[in-house]
């Protein structure tokens, strides 16, 4: 499942934004949506964040929502070398973000399955001594993440 969602053109190797709102905007921008859809998606993601941060600790965050703004389930990966204040559970900056967006209609439970895959990868990453952020290409990121999914 997750293999199909990991796309090289949806990986940002060095996020420029420094705060939660800026990072979400930057990650949404790679989807090349019209402005009104971008705003819809941003508002849905922020609405979810207001209920409790999706920064799960160990430098990882999984912002996610369902939204009419997308046609298919969509994953964007963002890497922040300097770290972003995401109001994480452990209070530490976030360096790796998995932004998952699904359509309101999800007949085959893809959304929960994908979230499950991401949670598994995140657990694997959290068990590492330190979180890697020095990737030279999106392909390298995909290979690195899939290693944890297949463990």
In the window 13-42, what residues touch another protein (CB under 8 A)?
Answer: 34, 36-37, 40
Distance CA 16, CA 64 (A): 20
Catalytic residue of the set 28, 64, 121, 142: 64
Q: Which is nearer to another protein, 51 or 136 (by Cβ)?
A: 51
Min dist CB 16 to another protein, Å, is 27
Among all chains, which residue has been given the structure tokens 């209920």? Answer: 51
Q: Which among 1-9, 19-27, 76-84, 98-106 is the span making contact with another protein, rule CB under 8 A?
A: 98-106
Based on the residue annotation, tell me whether 64 is a catalytic residue of this protein: yes
Q: Is residue 48 a contact point for another protein (CB under 8 A)?
A: yes
Strand duo 60-61 + 55-57: pairing: antiparallel
Among all chains, which residue has been given the structure tokens 């990868």? Answer: 121
Residue from 24, 27, 65, 99 that binds another protein (CB under 8 A)? 65
- To 5 degrees, how large is the angle CA 43–CA 105–CA 6? 75
Q: Is residue 131 a contact point for another protein (CB under 8 A)?
A: no
Distance CA 28, CA 117 (A): 21
DSSP structural state of residue 19: B
Nearest to 98 by CA among 131, 60, 68, 127: 60
Catalytic center residues? 64
Query: Which residues in this chain contact another protein in the complex, by CB under 8 A?
Result: 34, 36-37, 40, 43-44, 47-48, 50-52, 54, 56, 62, 65-69, 71, 89, 103-105, 112, 115-116, 119
């Amino acid at each position: 499942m997750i293999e199909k969602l990991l796309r090289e053109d949806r990986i940002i190797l060095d996020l420029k934004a420094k705060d939660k709102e800026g990072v979400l905007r930057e990650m949404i921008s790679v989807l090349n949506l019209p402005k009104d859809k971008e705003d819809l998606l941003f508002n849905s993601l922020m609405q979810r964040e207001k209920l409790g941060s999706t920064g799960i600790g160990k430098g990882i965050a999984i912002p996610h929502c369902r939204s009419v703004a997308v046609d298919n389930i969509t994953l964007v990966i963002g890497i922040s070398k300097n770290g972003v204040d995401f109001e994480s559970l452990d209070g530490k900056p976030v360096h790796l973000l998995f932004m998952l967006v699904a359509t309101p209609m999800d007949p085959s439970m893809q959304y929960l399955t994908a979230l499950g895959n991401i949670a598994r990868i995140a657990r694997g990453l959290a068990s590492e001594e330190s979180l890697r952020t020095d990737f030279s290409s999106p392909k390298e990121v995909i290979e690195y993440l899939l290693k944890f999914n297949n463990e």
